[in-house]
Structure 1
Amino acid sequence: MSETKVSFDLVISGAGMVGLALAAALAPTGLRILLLEQQALEQSSALDALPSDRFDVRVSALTKASSQLLDFLGAWSVIEGLRAAAYTDMHVWDGMGRGEIHFSADELHEPCLGHIVENRIIHAALLQVVQQYAQIEIIQGVGLSALSAPDAAGGRQITLTNNDVIHTPLLIGADGALSKTRQLSGIGATEWDYGHHALVTTLISEQSHQNTCWQVFTEDGPLALLPLASSSPHYLSLVWSTSPTHARSLQALSAEALGQAITQAVGQRLGDIRVVDQVTALNLRQRHAHQYVDTGLALIGDAAHTIHPLAGQGVNLGFLDVASLADVLTQAHQAGESLSSLTVLRRFQRQRRAENIKMAATMEVFRRLFGHRPAPIRLLRSLGMKGLDQLAPVKNHLVAMAMGTKGNLPPLCRAPVRVF
């Protein structure tokens, strides 16, 4: 028999990076928040003695906007105390031509372009922040099994996999690309397979990574080498997006042979490269929910949208969702508006859906442009990259937008105004 629990002001399904960030952002409002997570959560204490030669193969390239949000939440100091790699430069080139672009923080008068941080570290830091708030409860090992239609007040009744029943004015789906929240809500999504698998692992390079992100567009797909720590200048994270057939053939290689293949793919720019961890392949699909909100319900992060990782924007879009939704809900709560209200929730959708679609479309254009193209297109592509590299104002504007220092940013992601 099911047990009816006390109602919560807000339920967040999914205690990953995005779900935890939203809980932390809303905690100052005093709302009673429930976080549901099907997996066991790794405590931050488990990371206190991180080995210097072992890294999580899943990493995120955090923009300035994301690090600003994490700083506001109180998580950034924890992340920096554990491990974060600031990168100052980016080298992007066409492996099938001669085009190349170099982005530099010096040209923007910034200390860095962003940070590469292991996902487990981001997650642990956010969990540590969330656990400081008494009004936030976390239930592990459970998920959603049923979701009611909105009641007269717009709230939702949720049935959990342990048969508990919970009532809440608002359910937030932050439960990933295969979101159970999205499925139970009946919200459809447009999706297709990119025809790519992303190979991820940890590497050691003969030469220093120079606090630089390296990305080459190969014939099979983009390959990125990301610096993992300034104190360990030879450790890199690999993200190689390639065809499923090529991915399987690469995975079948010995560690030594795969290292040689990576060395050749990047033109030996960092000398010999060695593979020092297990190689994981991730299937890449594009998804976008037809709508982000319904009465008493909202979707954020991968539950609402997933894109190709070639520009590393996935989690950054999720954090922008968090900042936007937290701002909308905080203002609504202070004004005495119902959190269930579709009018309130559509404010968030208007702010984020068009922006996310624009980013997804941009990534699709780049993916297609740098795919296997006829020789004339490859020539024009290389000439375009060379030309853009010479147009400093245009190039720097583009990288500033990608960094999250310009554009339509939610308040929590904006850097403080400098006072001189």
Structure 2
Amino acid sequence: MNPQKSIFLRSLQANRVCFFRNPILKPSPALQRRHYSQHNEHKTSFVEPYDVVIVGGGPAGCALASVLSSIKAFDGMRVALVDSGKLEDIKQWKPPLDSYLSRTLQITASNKVYLENHGLWSQCYADRMQPYDRAVVTDSLGGGVIDLAAFETVESVQSRSSVAYMIETKNFVSGMLKAIDCATGCVVTFERSRVVEINNNNSTSYISRLPIVSLSNNRKLQARLLVGADGASSYVRKCAGIGTYGSEYLQYGLVATLCLEQLNSTAYQRFLPTGPIAMLPFPGGFANLVWSLDSDHTQLLKSAPEGAFASLVNAAFRLSACEMQYLYNIVRDGASESAITAEADWRLEVFARNNPGISSPKLLPPTIAAITPKSRTSFPLRMRMVDSLIANRIALVGDAGHVMHPLAGQGLNMGLEDVQCLADVLKQAAVAGEDIGSVPVLMRYNKQRYVRNLAMQGIVDKTWHIFGSNSRPVVTARSLVMNGLDLFPTVKRFLVSSIINEEGASHEEQLLSACMMDQSNLVEELLKAPHSVKVNFKNGLGYTALHYAAQTGSIDCIKLLVAVQGVNPNIQDSMEKDTPLHKALIHCDSSETAMEIAKLLVGAGADPRIVNKKKQRPVDLTEPEEEDIRRLLLQATLAIAVRQEQAEMEMGDEDSYSSD
């Protein structure tokens, strides 16, 4: 057994219980064996039995509680939602009429449909949501542009005209809490409640082995399943002994609410040398700003006068890196608000005169008139992934299980997909009469979500590193790809449909992502799974798993892939017409790795005679000192020629025999 599954929890934090839901429904006899009843045995030592205890009343925790409250299989069960915040105040939140909050969420169309189907989306203030149907992404160094529109998606998703929906975090959480109130009454909410201890003794009694969550008012909650939805610094995760890995981006996300000079329903993102800047639309001419910066620039811009800050944001979407650096310097030197604004506005006027062709809404966002006072705040950016989403009677959802860079806006969407999956697994277990906190049940959740979360983590992290490079070859290559998307409509449709696809990543897409991240253990798991995986599957760029494994230099992944019957190592990608053999010789960082991969690919039938878009054979991509690789490719070429000649001779003999 995995050691993590035998680790019991120690301590958490807690406050006092403030408000409760309706009285808990008494379970039917048919359900008593799979949820807590109210026998005296459970009431000893004032322990209150719950089927599910959710720690964390943020978007993921409240979404899970509201989804469970809407599932009929949970009628009669008991669910506790525990949070240290003032949940009742959030539920009763009355939004201001003249501004928007700076902490916002981007919800994909598929997640919005899921929430609608459970009757939850309608509980949020609809007039404070903003759908958007286009996203424009630009590169400040190379001039690359991607214009993604929802109407370019495949027919299966054409009925959903929006790529995503912007909503304030407080609006979302308030809606989920109101949905709980409208449901059957299975959820009990504990607000302003820190957990002071969670323990689990070694008693042989089934009841005694369940986690007990102690609150500071001496209330004790016993759970068949404890869910950690308590964010990136999850204490539930820490106490469960679940390890994490990842890295710090050494950047902060600076957020603010912007007031635009005109209405807007397009999202804009520009990659700057200092980090990406994004403007996300809200109703009434408002917008949300997310600007990734290092610590020095973050503090500099947070302390800049509000009028000057608005001019700097306008400049960041238009001016060159050199001009932005000049503006940063005058802010750092203590220039007045009027001086900063005048300098930025003058440079913007020059930009507009010199670039009349690109000053359109298709490429540039509306001009910012002002920012909402005191709306600027920041948070550190990091990548974190857990070793497992589950432990003994514990499951993690949302940021407790994964944290990523906000450049793709996928953080909460991954969390909502966790919620969907866990709720579905628990529903199936409840209907089947299974113990909802048992290892087999939780393993189903972990198996479905872990690989998908890891794949998305890898994609976002790779994107950040690619666009974070100022290397001229990298800048040129990424701009060529960005500008070339308009020449490949099918690729654009693939990218957009991937954003709004409600089914999530397929097994083939998971395989490609695992190879991209050099995760050979995940590749092995996918290839051995009972479901069939099309190993020659191509994504919108024409890449196969072998392309990504060769490009990454993953020898272990290639060994697994070439062992699959029917694998084709001669597929060419859509952009450069490279085979996996081309990719290996272009991208491998050492001759030894390139040689090993070339051996594996040639052994699997790779044809060294194939030329790419630049009319290059793999041998043309070798370095002068890589004689061993050239010899290998020459031998493979000769071997193929000999086999073809023998085949032609055999066919000639057959024709001669037939004529006789």
TM-score, normalised to structure 2, is 0.59
Greater mean deviation of Cα atoms: 272-281 or 214-223: 272-281
Please give the residue correspondences for 1:6-155 in structure 2 after superposition, counting only pairs within 5 Å: 6-27=48-69, 28=71, 29-30=74-75, 31-41=77-87, 42-47=89-94, 50-79=95-124, 81-108=126-153, 109=158, 110-132=160-182, 133-149=184-200, 152=204, 153=206, 155=210
Tell me if 1:224 matches 2:278.
yes
Contact between 1:156 and 1:171, CA under 8 Å: does it hold in 2? yes
Q: Which has the higher contact order (CA 8 A, sep 6+)?
A: 1
Write the distance in 1 (CA, Å) between the matches of 2:141 and 2:263.
25
Q: Which has the higher helix share?
A: 2
Q: Which amino acid aligns with 2:93?
A: A
Aligned equivalent of 1:303 = 400
How far does residue 391 in structure 1 lie from its aligned partner after superposition? 1.4
Could you tell me which of 443, 455, 467 is aligned with 1:370? Answer: 467
Does the residue aligned with 1:370 lie in a helix, a strand or coil?
helix
Aligned equivalent of 1:176 = 231
Q: Which amino acid aligns with 2:244?
A: A
Does the residue aligned with 1:116 lie in a helix, a strand or coil?
strand
Could you tell me which of 244, 248, 262 is aligned with 2:299? Answer: 248
Aligned equivalent of 1:294 = 391
Q: Which amino acid aligns with 1:119?
A: T
- Unaligned ranges ≥5, structure 2: 1-43, 319-347, 349-363, 507-660
Q: Which amino acid aligns with 1:116?
A: M
Aligned equivalent of 2:598 = none
Write the distance in 1 (CA, Å) between the matches of 2:118 and 2:271.
36
Write the distance in 2 (CA, Å) between the matches of 1:272 and 1:173.
40
Q: Which has the larger radius of gyration?
A: 2
Change in CA separation of 1:145 and 1:192 when aligned onto 2, cut-off 3 Å: farther
How far does residue 163 in structure 1 lie from its aligned partner after superposition? 3.7
Aligned equivalent of 1:212 = 266
How far does residue 376 in structure 1 lie from its aligned partner after superposition? 2.0
Greater mean deviation of Cα atoms: 181-190 or 398-407: 398-407
Tell me if 1:384 matches 2:477.
no
Tell me if 1:340 matches 2:395.
no
Write the distance in 1 (CA, Å) between the matches of 2:140 and 2:373.
25
Does the residue aligned with 2:46 lie in a helix, a strand or coil?
coil
Write the distance in 1 (CA, Å) between the matches of 2:235 and 2:296.
30
Contact between 2:90 and 2:173, CA under 8 Å: does it hold in 1? no
Contact between 2:247 and 2:383, CA under 8 Å: does it hold in 1? yes
Write the distance in 2 (CA, Å) between the matches of 1:162 and 1:284.
35
Q: Which amino acid aligns with 1:59?
A: T
Does the residue aligned with 2:217 lie in a helix, a strand or coil?
coil
Q: Which has the higher strand share?
A: 1
CA RMSD of aligned residues (A): 1.8
Does the residue aligned with 2:93 lie in a helix, a strand or coil?
helix
**How big is each residue's C-alpha offset from its partner over 1:351-410, in whole Å with a ceiling of 9 and x where there is no partner?**
00110011011111010011142122111111111112321111111121122345348x
Aligned equivalent of 1:322 = 419
**How big is each residue's C-alpha offset from its partner over 1:153-181, in whole Å with a ceiling of 9 and x where there is no partner?**
36212222334322111101111111111
Write the distance in 2 (CA, Å) between the matches of 1:396 and 1:3.
60
Does the residue aligned with 1:121 lie in a helix, a strand or coil?
helix
Write the distance in 2 (CA, Å) between the matches of 1:150 and 1:345.
21
Write the distance in 1 (CA, Å) between the matches of 2:367 and 2:222.
58
Does the residue aligned with 1:361 lie in a helix, a strand or coil?
helix
Q: Which amino acid aligns with 1:222?
A: P
Write the distance in 1 (CA, Å) between the matches of 2:114 and 2:59.
12
Greater mean deviation of Cα atoms: 274-283 or 348-357: 274-283
Contact between 1:69 and 1:319, CA under 8 Å: does it hold in 2? no
How far does residue 146 in structure 1 lie from its aligned partner after superposition? 2.2
Q: Which amino acid aligns with 2:282?
A: L
Write the distance in 1 (CA, Å) between the matches of 2:388 and 2:218.
28
Identical-residue share of aligned pairs (%): 31
Tell me if 1:4 matches 2:58.
no
Change in CA separation of 1:171 and 1:251 when aligned onto 2, cut-off 3 Å: same
**How big is each residue's C-alpha offset from its partner over 1:14-63, in whole Å with a ceiling of 9 and x where there is no partner?**
1211111111222222221011111111344322xx33321110111110
Does the residue aligned with 1:236 lie in a helix, a strand or coil?
strand
Q: Number of matched residues?
A: 402
Write the distance in 2 (CA, Å) between the matches of 1:358 and 1:191.
14
Aligned equivalent of 2:500 = 403
Q: Which amino acid aligns with 1:40?
A: K
Write the distance in 1 (CA, Å) between the matches of 2:79 and 2:481.
50
Greater mean deviation of Cα atoms: 158-167 or 358-367: 158-167
Write the distance in 1 (CA, Å) between the matches of 2:239 and 2:211.
12
**How big is each residue's C-alpha offset from its partner over 1:292-315, in whole Å with a ceiling of 9 and x where there is no partner?**
111211111111111000000011
How far does residue 82 in structure 1 lie from its aligned partner after superposition? 4.3
Q: Which amino acid aligns with 1:130?
A: I
Write the distance in 2 (CA, Å) between the matches of 1:150 and 1:24.
31
Does the residue aligned with 2:395 lie in a helix, a strand or coil?
strand
Aligned equivalent of 2:310 = 259
